[in-house]
């Protein structure tokens, strides 16, 4: 359960991996469309690869790389267990690129 940012009522959230449930998430009280805030721990992910390259240089780096990996994974699990929601911005109605099928340039 999370608090709706618009009306402050409780909203039942779908399972973290249920992407279809998340795309159609609507507050049952004020009908506002909600979406999941991307977990901040995803930012730590790309740093893992260079750390493991560094880990070959010595035991100290090896320990640091493993601690970093476990910290990142546990943070990800923690954030997916209690996701945060924000208001979904309305999708633009006009497409950015307009097809010019009816008026060929020739
Ligand atoms: Zn609401």
pLDDT in tens, 30-78: 999 998 887 777 788 888 888 889 889 999 999 999 999 999 889 888 8
- Output the CA 7–ligand 1 centroid distance in Å: 4
30-42: burial string, b at 16+ Cβ within 10 Å, e else: eeeebebeebebe
- Output the CA 31–ligand 1 centroid distance in Å: 6
C-alpha distances in angstroms, 90 versus 12, 64, 67?
21, 43, 41
- Output the CA 36–ligand 1 centroid distance in Å: 14
The pair of structure tokens assigned to 59 is 């035991």
Percent of all residues in the chain with a pLDDT value above 90, rounded to a whole number: 26
Percent of all residues in the chain with a pLDDT value above 70, rounded to a whole number: 85
Q: Is the pLDDT of residue 98 over 80?
A: no
- Output the CA 17–ligand 1 centroid distance in Å: 22
- Output the CA 92–ligand 1 centroid distance in Å: 22
Q: Count CA within 13 A, CB hemisphere, residue 74.
A: 6
pTM for the structure as a whole: 0.57
- Output the CA 81–ligand 1 centroid distance in Å: 21
The pair of structure tokens assigned to 66 is 């493993």
- Output the CA 14–ligand 1 centroid distance in Å: 16
What 3-state DSSP class applies to 33?
strand
């Amino acid at each position: 359960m999370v608090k709706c940012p618009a009306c402050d009522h409780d909203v039942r959230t779908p399972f973290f991996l249920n992407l279809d449930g998340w795309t159609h998430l609507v507050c049952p009280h004020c009908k506002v469309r909600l979406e999941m805030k991307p977990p901040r721990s995803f930012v730590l992910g790309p740093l893992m690869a260079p750390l493991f390259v560094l880990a070959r240089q010595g035991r100290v780096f090896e320990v640091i790389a493993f601690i970093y990996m476990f910290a990142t994974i546990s943070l990800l699990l923690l954030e997916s267990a209690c996701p945060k929601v924000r208001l979904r911005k309305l999708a633009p109605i006009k497409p950015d690129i307009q097809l010019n099928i009816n008026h060929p340039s020739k």
